[in-house]
Amino acid sequence: MICNNCNAEILTTVNFCPDCGNSVENLSKTCPNRECKCTGLPPEAVYCPECGVILIDLNTSNESENQLYNEKNTTYSRKLIQEDKDYISGESFLKKKEYQKAYTCLLISARNKNDRAMNQIGNMFQMGLYVNVDINKAIEFYIQAANLGNIESQRSLGILYSSGEFMYENYMEAYKWLKMAALQNDGLSQYAIGLCHEYGNGTYIDLGEAKKWYKLAVENGNDNANERLEKAKFWYI
């Protein structure tokens, strides 16, 4: 697809709140801006990283509508250009498996404190995409992102410290990071916290606490927690 403003190639799509301009990653969720009163689901748009134009109508690229939107939401357009351009490009290159270009773009974005970019750089070091596998580097980027609230990095740290695949297990450290993600309603991390309390990994054994986290995990879509809840029926609490 070609940008009808500058003829550059469109790299990716973005989702945004039409009321306040906040980017929204998951189409099933409403705008994350607590001060925004919108209730509708965010529409999908195409963003041109070259000139910053946001094309709302993906089928017709209605120029007048797109122009009106960009005039009304210059702050959002400017935010995309200044903060997210490198991240959006990096994600696009990752999907195309152009890992060297992806790494370059994401690293720039990570240096600008984009936690999603930090998480992706951590993934690249963990999986050896363009760069050599370096778990210490992966952890370094995961920690930076996790401290900014990135759920995926918090979960990844918990898994790394508890799995024993790349290092000796450190269940207390695993519990710390998993708990952060669990408190943000990450179903997998809530399930893992339940296991920690059931078996005493990184924390005290508390079957009541384990059952509580399993229930929360189920509410957030984790099917494995259902099996643990079935067994919990036979616990003496």
Q: What is the pLDDT of residues 160-170, one digit of tens each?
A: 999 888 888 99
DSSP notation for 6-27: T-PBP-EEEEB-TTT--B-S-T
Dihedral, CA of residue 89, residue 90, residue 91 and residue 92, to nearest 10: 50
Note the pLDDT of residue 38. Answer: 52
Note the pLDDT of residue 234. Answer: 81
What token pair was written down for 224?
């494995």
Note the pLDDT of residue 86. Answer: 86
Note the pLDDT of residue 73. Answer: 45
- Show the domains of the chain with their CATH numbers: 1-96 (no CATH), 150-237 (1.25.40.10)
Interval 197-209 mean pLDDT: 95
Question: pLDDT-based confidence at 127, cuts 50/70/90?
Answer: very high
Please determine, for residue 7, whether its predicted confidence score (pLDDT) is greater than 90.
no
Q: Which residues contact 74 (CB under 8 A, 6 or more apart)?
A: none
Distance separating alpha carbons of residues 114 and 86, to the nearest angstrom:
10
Looking at the DSSP bridge assignments, the partners of residue 44 are 15
Looking at the DSSP bridge assignments, the partners of residue 54 are 47
Query: Which ranges of the chain would DSSP assign to H, the alpha helix?
Result: 63-72, 74-79, 85-95, 99-111, 115-127, 135-147, 151-163, 171-182, 187-199, 207-219, 224-232
- Pairing type for strands 54-55 and 44-47 reads antiparallel
Q: What is the pLDDT of residues 62-111, one digit of tens each?
A: 454 444 444 444 444 444 444 578 888 898 899 999 999 999 999 999 99
Distances (CA, A) of 194 to 14, 146, 179, 191: 35, 21, 10, 5
* Lowest-confidence region among 88-97, 114-123, 208-217: 88-97
Please determine, for residue 134, whether its predicted confidence score (pLDDT) is greater than 80.
yes
Q: What is the pLDDT of residues 19-28, one digit of tens each?
A: 555 555 444 4
Distances (CA, A) of 113 to 84, 106, 107, 136, 140: 11, 11, 10, 19, 14
Distance separating alpha carbons of residues 99 and 115, to the nearest angstrom:
19
Q: What is the CA radius of gyration of the chain?
A: 21
Interval 1-28 mean pLDDT: 54
